[in-house]
C-alpha cells in the first residue's frame, strides 16, 4: 500500500520560488501554479504513486 501524499514541494525555476502543490480532483496528478508568473505545472501520479518528494518546474 502506497502512502499517498496530499501535496508535494516544487521549485518553480522560472521565478526561483518554492511552493507546495496539491492533488487534483481526479487524484491522478499534482497541479499548481507559480505564485509569481502563474506558470502551470502538473506532476502525474503513477500507478505506484510518486516517490519523489521534490520536483522542479521551468
Ligand atoms: Zn514563475
Going from N- to C-terminal start, the domains of the chain cover 7-57
Q: What is the pLDDT of residues 27-51, one digit of tens each?
A: 889 999 999 999 999 988 876 655 5
Ligand 1 center to 49 CA (angstroms): 26
**Three cell numbers, residue 35:** 505564485
| Rounded-to-integer distance, Cα 17 and Cα 39, Å | 11
- The alpha carbon of 47 and the centre of ligand 1 are apart by a number of angstroms equal to 29
Q: Which residue has the cell 501554479?
A: 33
pTM here?
Answer: 0.70
Contact predicate 20/12, CB 8 Å: no
Helical H segments across 1-58, by residue range: none
Query: What is the pLDDT of the chain when averaged over all its residues?
Result: 83
Beta bridge pairs of residue 22:
7, 31
Q: Under DSSP, is residue 40 helix (H, G, I), strand (E, B) or coil?
A: strand
Amino acid at each position: 500500500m502506497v502512502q499517498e501524499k496530499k501535496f508535494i514541494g516544487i521549485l518553480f525555476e522560472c521565478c526561483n520560488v518554492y511552493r507546495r502543490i496539491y492533488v487534483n480532483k481526479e487524484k491522478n496528478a499534482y497541479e499548481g501554479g507559480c505564485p509569481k508568473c502563474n506558470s502551470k505545472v502538473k506532476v502525474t501520479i503513477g500507478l505506484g504513486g510518486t516517490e519523489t518528494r521534490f520536483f522542479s518546474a521551468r
